[in-house]
Amino acid sequence: MNKLATILLCVNFITVLFPQPGYIHPDEFFQSTEIVAGDVLDVIHYRAWEFNATFPVRSIVFPYILTSPPLYLLQMLNSTGWSGLQISTVKVVMSTRLPLAFLSVLGYLATGKLAETFQADKHLSTVLFCSSYVTWTYYTRTFSNSIESVLLAIVFLLTLQKCNAKLITQGSSKVTRKSLDSDKDKSSKVRKKEPEEDKREPQEKHKKEFSSKHEDKMTEKQSKTNGGQSLTDIFLGIVVAAGIFNRPTFVLFSFIPTVFWLSKRICPLQQGWYKKLVFACFRFTYGASITSAVFILADTIYYKPLFVQDLNLFLHLLFSGEMSASLIGNRLSDMLSTLVITPINFLSYNTDPSNLAQHGLHPRILHIFVNLPLLLGPVYISFVFVTAASVYQLLFGLRNAERKFEQTSLSWLVLMAVIPVLALSIFPHQEPRFIIPTLPVFMVMGAKFISVVAPAKLSFLTLWVLFNILLTLIYGYMHQAALIPAMSIYQQKLSAMSSKPLPGSQHTIFYKTYPPPRHLLLLPSLSSQHVHIHDLAGGPVASVKNAIEESKLQCKRTRGSCQIFLFMPATVTPRVEDQLSESSKVQRTSICPHLSMEAPPRLKAWWRKKIGFEEFVMEFCLNILKIT
């Protein structure tokens, strides 16, 4: 691990220990921690449609594996009663991001492996990976896409290996001929020196003994290698199957690396390669099948708890001999029909255009011409350059064997990047995070490009650094960045009020913000009758007025105190305040910075000097209004 990459990774961990307040997308909470925290901590939470027990499209396995251990640990520490160990919003956010931050190191290792395999500058490739804002933001968040990135990194580590150019380009037949020719030459030389054979008998005897020992060592080494390859085949099947249950799109990312892995099996064209290939595929299928069965069983038990009782009853009747063959068949059929196979549900949902329309339809060129430049910045130029170079080499072929290896190598690298991006472009709903697993491949492309344009290396890297600093600030520290700190403050307030004999009622309204992760308020499920959360999303201003009036009516019917809080960007605050009745008393608190792209600051108005600089800066804030 090079020093600069190590420093960058350490700084990345620090930004997790002191969590980035930026809120990239609702799915970073609502597809993982919101669900698991609701189950583990028994707090108020919102169960997204993906986890609906009637038609679940998300497996619960990875959210539980990654986020339940830190949540259980926080719960245990909280039970000690020590003031410094009390559970809080910040601790929940930090602890659930840590596992993915540690696992992002696998992305670093995969980038290095890619660089070694495809003859790129390993040091530069890993530095590019570790300095990318995608690594600092997306890879440390609890997205299913981040988990997908980790699993793809493992696939790269399992499938990539250094290959000898001669073996790839010439095949074993030529190698065999060369070895036979060399044997003939040696034998002819020996025949010419027959008179000297008696003198050299001791030497030849020594050579034979040495050769025998060497062959034994090679045989032992080969058996160990075969054993290691067998485990690799099984483990690869496990990882690919797990990735598909995490996100079925994983098959698009793992397809080319898996084909590359298979090609290495037949790359030397040695005797018996077909048998080796069949056994490798069998071991891969074995690992994938076992993993799939585990995921299906775990998801079924989670979403259909009665399945366990039905299974126990079935086994009891089966072994007691109280069931006929037809009844066994019927019961078994009923049980199989209740199995939850989330990848099938996922594909069924996402292949329906009407379902995708609910989440927003995008042009099919969005990934290639918008999302990739947004993720890669200057490295996007390298992607275009390396892809064009690969196409040129394929069209105008290279005759030299060594150059042919370079051509083949470059083609594999390009395919690992292009195939998943093009395949995902078929679907009309496209977001940048969908293609973040390919980051290591693009970083290796960047290193290859920089090595070609050496005179412009400094300018390129300067542009790269500036781009990633800017995007890290935006996504890590500005985008919807006041919402989580505001909820942390509100959680402390609610915690203090819960100790009172009559805690009263709380009405919390969120307007023009991302959906608030309710689990971060850490309110016990029994508190739902006292705390009412109204998420108005991006509705009209009139909806805010209606929500406030409705909350006031409920407050009149509530014993004890009743408070109304309104969370919204500063950019819409004046319009909302105009809707409030004159009798309403308002206390305002501002938390900055907060960049809402749904209600962005008025840059054009400030540029034209219609508003002052101070007013413009204050629009990068989230306002909390206490209304009485």
Q: Is residue 351 part of a domain?
A: yes
Q: Is the pLDDT of residue 180 over 90?
A: no
Clarify whether residues 503 and 613 are in a common domain. Answer: yes
pLDDT of residue 175: 41
Is the per-residue pLDDT at 582 higher than 60? yes
> How would you write 311-370 as a 3-class SS string?
HHHHHHHHHHCCCCHHHHHHHHHHHHHCCCCHHHHHHHHHCCHHHHHHHCCCCCCHHHHH
If you average pLDDT over residues 197-212, what whole number do you get?
55
Does residue 185 sit within a domain?
A: no
- Distance between CA 161 and CA 270 in Å, rounded? 18
Q: How far apart are CA 119 and CA 245, in angstroms?
A: 33
Q: For 87-121, write each residue's pLDDT tens digit.
A: 999 999 999 999 999 999 999 999 999 999 999 99
Tally Cβ neighbours within 10 Å of residue 285: 14
Final residue in a domain of this structure, among 455, 477, 499: 477
Domain boundary among 359, 377, 402: 359
- Which one-letter amino acid corresponds to residue 423? A
What is the predicted pLDDT for the residue at 228?
66
Of the ranges 270-274, 369-373, 448-452, 602-606, the best mean pLDDT one: 369-373
The whole-model pTM stands at 0.89
Both 340 and 412 in one domain: the answer is no
pLDDT digits (tens, 9 = 90+) for 34-84: 999 999 999 999 999 999 999 999 999 999 999 999 999 999 999 988 888
Same domain, 350 and 420: no
Domain limits for position 94: 3-162+360-477
- 586 and 456, same structural domain? no
pLDDT tens, position by position, 126-147: 999 999 999 999 999 999 999 9
Instruction: Quote the pLDDT of residue 402.
Output: 52
In a domain, 179, yes or no: no
Sheet containing 531-535: order of strands: 531-535, 505-510, 562-569, 622-627, 586-591
What are 34's two structure tokens? 């919101």
**What digits encode the pLDDT tens for the residues 529-548?**
788 999 998 889 999 999 99
Residue 213 lies in a domain: no
Residue 73 lies in a domain: yes
Regarding whether 405 and 353 lie in a shared domain, the answer is: no
In this predicted model, which residue has the larger pLDDT, 103 or 554?
103
Which stretch of 313-322, 368-377, 450-459 has the lowest confidence by average pLDDT? 313-322
| 3-state SS string for 43-89 | ECCCCCHHHCCCCCCCCCHHHHHHHHHHHHHHHHHHCCCCHHHCCCH
Q: Which of 376, 361, 368 minimizes the C-alpha distance to 420?
A: 368
**Residue after which a domain boundary falls, among 477, 492, 516:** 477
Contact 349, 439 (CB under 8 A): no
Q: What does the pLDDT read at residue 321?
A: 73
Q: Do residue 128 and residue 155 come from a single domain?
A: yes
Residues 319 and 381 in one domain: no
pLDDT at 215 over 90: no
Q: Which of 16, 30, 320, 298 is nearest to 140 (CA)?
A: 16
Q: Is residue 292 part of a domain?
A: no
Nearest-CA neighbor of 434 among 16, 57, 160, 25? 25
Residues 337 and 387 in one domain: no
Mean of pLDDT values over 264-281: 75
Whether residue 613 sits in one domain with residue 551: yes
Q: Are residues 331 and 443 in the same domain?
A: no
Q: C-alpha distances in angstroms, 198 versus 191, 202, 203, 233, 379?
A: 13, 9, 10, 52, 68
> Number of folded domains in the chain?
3
